[in-house]
Amino acid sequence: MFVAFDKIKELADKQGISINVLEEKLGYGTNTLYRLKRSNPSSKVLKEIADYFNVSADYLLGRTDNPTIAGNSKEYSWQGKTLNVEEMASNVMMFGGRELTDEKKKIIQSIIEGYLKEAGD
């Protein structure tokens, strides 16, 4: 079963674009992506599509449900939403009525990252 087309269609729908528009944006000929209903994409096409949507190739191939690219420790996926943990932690200004130092914000970031990693397993 070839899941790449379904994943690509889902990602395109989330961005509000059609498969035909995506083909144009990527410089592909008409129906190039529709052919993926019958076969897996080449590594070149897979990389281009993964880069366009900022997801991993494994996600497009259905090998993982986590679209996050390996090694991208700043963003996590939780309940279908992409989270930027560093940004979240930097927005926390106070806790218990006291202002947080940068060091404590980093600790909060580590706690959030640890939780999201465990929740993703």
pLDDT in tens, the chain (121 residues): 578 899 999 999 988 999 999 999 999 999 999 998 888 888 999 999 998 988 888 888 888 877 766 554 456 666 667 777 777 776 777 767 778 777 777 777 777 777 777 766 5
Tokens describing residue 69: 């690219």
pTM above 0.85, yes or no: no
In this structure, are 49 and 88 located in the same domain? no
Amino acid in the structure at residue 85: V
**CA distances to 4, 11, 54, 95, 99 from 46, in Å:** 9, 14, 12, 45, 46
Domain at 13, CATH number: 1.10.260
- State the first-to-last Cα distance of the chain, in angstroms, to the nearest integer: 24
Number of domains in the chain: 2
Residue 48 lies in a domain: yes
